[in-house]
Amino acid sequence: MEVIPAIDLLNGRVVRLYKGDFDQVTHYDQDPVELAQRYLAAGLTRLHAVDLNGAKTGDPVNLPLIEAFAATGLRVQAGGGIRDAVRLEQLLASGAERAVIGSVAVQSPDEVIGWMSSVGAERVVLAFDVRIENGTPMPQTHGWTRGSDITLWDLLDRYLAAGTRDVLCTDIARDGTLEGPNISLYADCARRYPDVRFIASGGVKSAADLPALAATGAAGVVSGKALLDGRLTLGEIAQFLQDA
């Protein structure tokens, strides 16, 4: 299982949100590019970057930082505010290896399937941020401020037929909480869709969560707050990868 550090950007600064709430922001006094370089120096090869301005407003103002991340040599998957083909092409042209598409993937599947056909399904990671309602994961949109009436399973069925293989799934009730990831959600995802490479996100609190997630069949895990707060160290990640 791949471990992917996350850098969330708001107005050019490194931040984390609590449960996706823009009114509950933690700012970190770290230079975003220096932080990315530190992850690269520790042997990590991929970075997950989120333009929170873009996620909220549709205007990805942090694109220069995405470009700087890609210039370090990290394989960058980035998202936030990709709501049309122009923004998608802009992001990929900046050096991002993969574009992470969230809200529009829920609202306009046919449109996103068309983009995948144009740029290649391998260059798109679908990001489904879900709330668990009566045991069923329901995708949210617009920086987690709006709900939807379609289930995660219905969306995955549709995209799998179009060639999707990489899916980032976040339980937003866990995101930024350090309460531990939703193990049962990712086990269910992997059981239902064994051909999809699921990336888990939300709630990682310590190194103990890594083998538990790997056991679900997840292909990767994104960690933001636990790394930034020192609850999960780069040394512990290296040990996990060595033991895997």
- State the CB neighbour count (10 A cutoff) for residue 175: 25
What contacts 89, CB < 8 A, 6 or more positions away?
119
pTM: 0.92
The token pair that represents 215 in the structure block: 């056991």
**For the chain, first and last CA: distance in Å?**
8
Structural domain containing residue 200: 2-243
Binning pLDDT at 50, 70 and 90, where does residue 237 land?
very high
Q: Contacts for 25-30 with beta carbons within 8 Å, 24 or more apart? A: 26/176, 26/225, 28/228, 30/228
Strand partners, 46: 75
Containing 211, the helix (H) or strand (E) segment is helix 209-214
CATH of the domain at 58: 3.20.20.70
**Contact (CB, 8 A) for 173 and 192:** no
Active site residues: 8, 129
pLDDT for residue 142: 61
Domain count along the chain = 1
Q: pLDDT for 87-132, tens place per residue?
A: 999 999 999 999 999 889 999 999 999 999 999 999 999 999 999 9
Burial environment of residue 93 by CB neighbours within 10 A (0 to 12, 13 to 18, 19 or more): exposed
Compute the half-sphere exposure of residue 17: CA atoms within 13 Å on the CB side of its CA: 20
Q: Which two tokens stand for residue 33?
A: 């590019």
Rg (CA), the chain: 16
Query: Following DSSP, what letter does each residue of 110-134 receive, concatenated?
Result: HHHHHHHHHH-GGGEEEEEEEEEET
> How do residues 147-204 score in pLDDT, each as one tens digit?
678 999 999 999 999 999 999 999 988 877 778 899 999 999 999 999 999 999 988 9
